Structure 1
């Protein structure tokens, strides 16, 4: 089986015909209905919209060609074609689902009245466009949507040292703009190299021995 991500305590896998949800605490397994198309073997990312016991639960899967949706209680998938947007990471922010694709464009994903994606017009700072960069991370931090970028420089002694930069999306201007942050006060950010796994933030991490303004 292929690993697609983790969400609300469930690991998400797929094989050629089915998606499989596995509760990481109890081992309970849930198997949504069979895929209706052989093209779905190219699925690479999955995310739950809500906890599994929620009556409005939806499971969203992404393949290279389409986006699929299963609503709990139904025995079919709905499908929406994607026009070249290979989704890289998804976060939920203020009731909206934001996605970043592999060329770092930001999109919103809507499930009503039907599955759809829309690119968000965003202005980038010049410092974000020069040098060598890794794929950035989206992180929700309180009422801020952050982008964490790892810029890499070349050093003859130490190889390729990296420096984290953090940007906050300013929605009050049009188009929205990434604004660099020098520090993020009493927050700690948690990242993972596998972008299918969720990023998250924690306020006042000193309560459990962590560090503020730390990644």
Structure 2
């Protein structure tokens, strides 16, 4: 995915070729540049941090890439199921999905995210769709001009 959120496929045969994938958008109207591509059990997910109705409110929305129709589409996910997703400091780093996080004391259907670490932990965790109050939890990568952070991301899902 490039900085304009265009998704490309890399074909390896018969010869190396990069082609843009025609894809319908997420339907989320937002000026947020905070998003992550995540390989989650062989599916490509688009995790997007968007504003909520509250001034300082933000929440993660998740979409999976559906290639079953003539035109690919991002389909909204209501739950991550038994998966947890870890995101770092910005979209240049793909997220990491972990299945059955309860095995090590984690939480399913949750997003773990980096904070500024002003309290005793440099990270936070919320259930998918819950609201983050950025007046109380400062996201490490949230301030400044996020467009300066946008880079091309490479993700190799197992599909």
TM-score normalised by structure 2 residue count: 0.62
Deviation at 1:115, TM superposition (A): 4.7
The gaps in structure 2 that reach 5 residues or longer are 112-159
1:168 corresponds to: 64
Number of aligned pairs? 111
Shift in CA distance, 209/138, structure 1 to aligned 2, threshold 3 Å: same
The answer (yes or no) to whether the contact 1:121–1:175 under 8 Å persists in 2 is yes
1:58-77 superposed matches below 5 A: none
State the match for 2:7 in structure 1: 106
Partner of 2:44: 145
In structure 2, what is the Cα distance between the partners aligned to 1:194 and 1:111? 28
CA deviations over 1:125-153 (Å, ceiling 9, x no partner): 42x2x133223211010031100011124
TM-score by length of 1: 0.47
Cα distance in structure 2, aligned partners of 1:131 and 1:202:
27
CA distance change for structure 1 residues 132 and 195 in 2, over 3 Å: closer, same or farther?
A: closer
Q: Which has the higher contact order (CA 8 A, sep 6+)?
A: 2
1:208 corresponds in structure 2 to 104
CA RMSD of aligned residues (A): 2.0
Where has structure 1 moved over 3 Å in runs of 4 or more? 110-116, 194-198
What residue in structure 2 maps to residue 178 of structure 1?
A: 74
